[in-house]
């Protein structure tokens, strides 16, 4: 994941000439993650997160964070989306988009989510930075 392509609205990555995500695919995945964020159940932190995973056959599965008063029983958006896809038979993924309410800040997936993502193949990781669809593409270990 070392070649980055920019344009006015989004930044996305081309993985050494392999599978390229089209502009429309990137926009759709970000939009789906933003929509999933609206379903977040976060009465304690008030920190909404949504995720959308893209499968190899271009199916999209979404998830949101779901908190619990017993903190460690909560589930992150990334793991919810991946688990939903796995429960439908998908084991390998092209991309994941992650959206939060933070503006101009990278939302780093937690260690558990990074491990979950490492377990399956992600060629592209898109993190939404603001409501306009501007995003970045970090590596899984960049903020470990």
**Is residue 14 domain-resident?**
yes
Instruction: Give a yes or no: residue 94 inside a domain.
Output: yes
Q: Annotation-wise, does 137 bind a ligand?
A: no
Please, what is the end-to-end C-alpha distance for the chain in angstroms? 17
- 141 occurs within a structural domain: no
Was 28 annotated as part of a binding site? no
Q: What is the torsional sign of CA 101, 115, 4, 33?
A: negative
The dihedral built from the CA positions of residue 88, 61, 25 and 7, taken in this order, carries a sign that is: negative
**What CATH number corresponds to the domain at position 16?**
3.40.140.10
Q: Which domain holds residue 123?
A: 3-136
* 5-63 pLDDT tens trace: 334 334 444 333 335 778 888 889 989 999 999 999 999 999 999 999 999 899 999 99
Residues belonging to the active site: 78
Q: How many domains does the chain have?
A: 1
Question: Is 102 part of a structural domain of the chain?
Answer: yes
Q: Which residues of 56-69 are buried (b: 16+ CB within 10 A; e: fewer)?
A: eeeebbbbbbbbee
With respect to residue 143, please indicate whether it lies within any of the assigned structural domains.
no
68 assigned binding-site residue: yes
* pLDDT value of residue 13: 40
Selection from 17, 12, 38, 39 nearest residue 96 by Cα: 12
Tens of pLDDT, residue by residue over 92-116, are: 888 888 999 887 677 778 889 988 8
């Amino acid at each position: 994941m070392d070649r980055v392509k920019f344009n006015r609205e989004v930044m996305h990555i081309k993985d050494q000439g392999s599978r390229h995500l089209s502009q429309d695919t990137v926009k759709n995945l970000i939009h789906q993650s933003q929509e999933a964020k609206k379903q977040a159940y976060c009465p304690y932190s008030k920190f909404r997160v949504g995720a959308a995973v893209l499968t190899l056959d271009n199916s999209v599965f979404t998830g949101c964070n779901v908190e619990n008063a017993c903190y460690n029983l909560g589930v992150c958006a990334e793991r919810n989306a991946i688990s939903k896809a796995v429960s439908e038979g998908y084991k390998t993924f092209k991309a994941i988009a992650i959206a939060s309410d933070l503006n101009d800040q990278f939302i780093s997936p937690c260690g558990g989510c990074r491990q979950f993502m490492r377990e399956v193949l992600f060629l592209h990781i898109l993190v939404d930075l603001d409501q306009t669809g501007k995003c970045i593409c970090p590596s899984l270990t960049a903020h470990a």
